[in-house]
A and B are shown apart, each in its own frame.
Chain A
């Protein structure tokens, strides 16, 4: 079963995304800080991480680095409230698989997630 980790410093946003993904039968774990996200990433080993870039303390970029270091196969979708090309490019260079600007549509998130799930399945030989 595909597992998502949703990380955002806005609890309301996290709750909504979790509800949306759970309705589509995905397993979801959530975190509202970078530190908590790293802890869950190690523990839960998610396939896809939906990660807010700008967070207090450990930022989304810090989390991305750690996640890609510890679980290179994990796909990361970055979320941000700022359309910043430099940050976007940096995230992509660090191994992010996609990038969504807030407020984003759930269908966008779903499309991107499905594409990544297909990749994961092909890698693992699952049809």
Chain B
């Protein structure tokens, strides 16, 4: 049995030595010019020297050779805490007075190296427990041991201090250093105990396996910028070890402990049993590993995955939001609430300026920063299409010190952003999300980044959509405004002209009285005064109509066409009775038209135009009909009257621009213009046909919904 334990020691130490040697070489190849790599390589080298020479020191039969091996072993042991603490100082960027401890430790290390060759440190080697030779301590060994322990504890202390005060990415990084280091020391330090004639079963020799763990984790943490959650790593490693212990352990157990029984049952072919079990278990192993890994990670990441489900559902619902600012606010709200992050900011591309500009934030700074599309950060996002973690960029810059990475780091500092997630539509970077760290201090996992990328791209579509709608709405608003202004300007211009024309005879009458022009024409005076009085009423009516049109708002509503026509007729109902005018209305009550508040004015003024026109004083008919055209999006309204045709008045010079504008039909001129303006505002068409003796025919075509393009 002692040989078995010795073998276990030998195997554990040799394994540790080989792993550390491998790591040391790997670190040198990966980047020997980097100081962190150098120190970690030296640390691995010291562990390698310790473990390899101890492995051979404890198994030698020759005492003097064993002593030499043990002394060489201690050249490694002496420098283990020195290299470690130096590495920690460099990793944590510890400067000032405390940094002076490092050269002092190297001086002490060199002194101990000299003492290692004397009996003051290692007195002798003697057989102990199951070891062929183990050391007995010299007088100074106790001093060495306790200083070794103190230095190792100090290195651990600094790491844990940083771990507890850091957060986010840094905290996750520290996890890779702290816990594996503590674990490795707890497993490794018992190797000192036989020196003081103490043996702890099981922990010795198996605790030795913990020693390379630290080097493995630290190597991973310094060569990778993107660190996954250590919980996941440990879980995966534990499941892997467990599964493969079973996969390999059962066949080897059968072959070792059950061999006599198997030989008794299966004879010469006994080895098929462990072989077949190995084959079966090795086949099942990967599946069992994946199954257990999914289960375990599902449990660990339960909350996170729940949040991801919410995020993905939210991402899909974003496309339903059409209002641009509402969409952006919703997006940052979802992100901050669901992920529990400090802030979320949206930057979008301003294509006119060729810049990425601040749009909205929740919890962040309203710094309204803009990045040119030539900025390294933008180029990087366009090139990689991947999320960018600030800490990773910062570390990359610390390693490379190149201008490109510096510009990226500086831009992320200014924005600010702990994480940037680009948003793409096809190949175009339309913007990015600038996110803060999680309030819980947890880091963004790879799954987080995948989900965020997905969300960003989903929201990119929604943003593009909403932006397009917003731009269209703005453009339509401008066009509407311009159209309205143009219409009002024209209307006012026309009204101005008519008003001045009306005022001219009033002014002429008054001047004529003043100058005595009417002295010989008293009847003419009476007639001119009556006309002037009537004209003042016209002016009052004009003013009322123009004001009604100009002040009608831009609220849009659906109107029942037949109801609008009836309202128009009702306005002039007294004229219909007085002038004995009959009306025929043929409009389907199911026809509805979307329009502005001024739409009812159209029918009021069309009827006024007909009713006040020549030829309708002693009766007539106004006929109104409407039908939906074949395009199913336009209604055609036709109004005919039996009054005189317009041409007659044009010939007589009593019209204005083809409009009825005779002395008796003055009101018709403005009505005509208002009706035309309303149709124009609703993107319709306005045609007038007037033929001798057949009256006037208006043909008006209106979109059923002027906001929608025709089918």
Contact = CB atoms under 8 A, between A and B. Distances in A.
Interface string A1-29: 00000000111110011011001000000
Interface stretch (B22-30, B127-135, B369-377, B504-512): B504-512
B503 A102 contact: yes
Nearest to A58: B653
B105 to A, nearest CB: 93
B366 interface: no
Interface stretch (B60-68, B160-168, B614-622, B655-663): B655-663
Contact of A106 (B499, B511, B656, B657): B511
B496 interface: yes
Contact of A13 (B504, B517, B657): B504
Given A23-B517, A106-B508, A16 B503 contact: no
Contacts of A17: 508
A91 to B, nearest CB: 15
A32 interface: yes
B663 A11 contact: yes
A36 interface: yes
Which of A20, A103, A105 neighbours the largest number of chain B CB atoms within 10 Å of its CB?
A103
A82 B500 contact: yes
B497 interface: yes
Contact of B653 (A16, A56, A103): A56
A117 interface: no
Interface string B277-298: 0000000000000000000000
Nearest to A31: B653
Contacts of B508: 12-13, 16-17, 20, 103, 106
Given A20-B515, A56-B658, A32 B493 contact: no
Contacts of B493: 82
Contact of A81 (B498, B509, B515): B498
A64 B72 CA distance: 121
B37 interface: no
Contact of B507 (A55, A57, A103): A103
B496 A82 contact: yes
B653 A81 contact: no
Contacts, number: 90
B367 interface: no
A9 B654 contact: yes
B451 interface: no
B509 A103 contact: no
A65 interface: no
A51 to B, nearest CB: 13
Interface in A47-81: 54-57, 80-81
Contacts of B597: none
B269 interface: no
Nearest to B515: A106
Nearest to B651: A33
A103 B656 contact: no
B512 A16 contact: yes
A118 interface: no
Interface in B70-123: none
Contacts of A36: 653
B653 A32 contact: yes
Contacts of B663: 11-12
Given A9-B656, A32-B653, A54 B497 contact: yes
A89 interface: no
B535 to A, nearest CB: 9
A16 B506 CA distance: 10
B501 A16 contact: no
Nearest to A55: B653
B514 to A, nearest CB: 9
Given A16-B512, A20-B512, A23-B517, A10 B504 contact: yes
Contacts of A56: 650, 653, 655-658, 661
B528 interface: yes
A109 to B, nearest CB: 10
Nearest to A105: B511
Which of A12, A31, A36, A55 neighbours the largest number of chain B CB atoms within 10 Å of its CB?
A12
B386 interface: no
Contacts of A80: 497, 500
B531 A12 contact: yes
Contacts of B528: 12, 16
B652 interface: yes
A35 to B, nearest CB: 8
Contacts of B652: 32-33
Contacts of B657: 56
Interface in A81-111: 81-82, 101-106
Which of B496, B505, B661, B663 neighbours the largest number of chain A CB atoms within 10 Å of its CB?
B505
Contacts of B497: 54, 80-82
A10 B501 contact: yes
Contacts of A55: 653
Contacts of B521: 19
Given A54-B497, A56-B653, A10 B505 contact: yes
Contacts of A10: 501, 504-505
Which of B506, B521, B657 neighbours the largest number of chain A CB atoms within 10 Å of its CB?
B657
A81 B609 CA distance: 23
A56 B506 CA distance: 22
Contacts of A20: 508, 511-512, 515, 517
A17 B511 CA distance: 11
A102 B501 contact: yes
A124 to B, nearest CB: 29
A104 B500 CA distance: 10
Nearest to A101: B500
Interface string B514-543: 010100010010001001000000000000
A104 B503 CA distance: 9
Interface of B: 493, 496-501, 503-509, 511-512, 515, 517, 521, 524, 528, 531, 650-658, 661, 663
Interface of A: 9-13, 16-17, 19-20, 23, 31-33, 36, 54-57, 80-82, 101-106
- Would you list the 3 A-B pairs with minimal beta carbon distance, nearest first? A81-B500, A33-B653, A103-B507
Given A82-B497, A106-B511, A106-B515, 9 more contacts: A9-B501, A11-B653, A12-B663, A16-B517, A31-B653, A80-B500, A81-B504, A105-B507, A106-B508
23 contacts: A9-B653, A11-B654, A12-B528, A12-B663, A16-B512, A16-B517, A20-B508, A20-B511, A20-B517, A23-B517, A31-B653, A36-B653, A54-B497, A54-B656, A56-B658, A56-B661, A57-B650, A80-B500, A81-B501, A82-B493, A101-B500, A104-B507, A106-B508
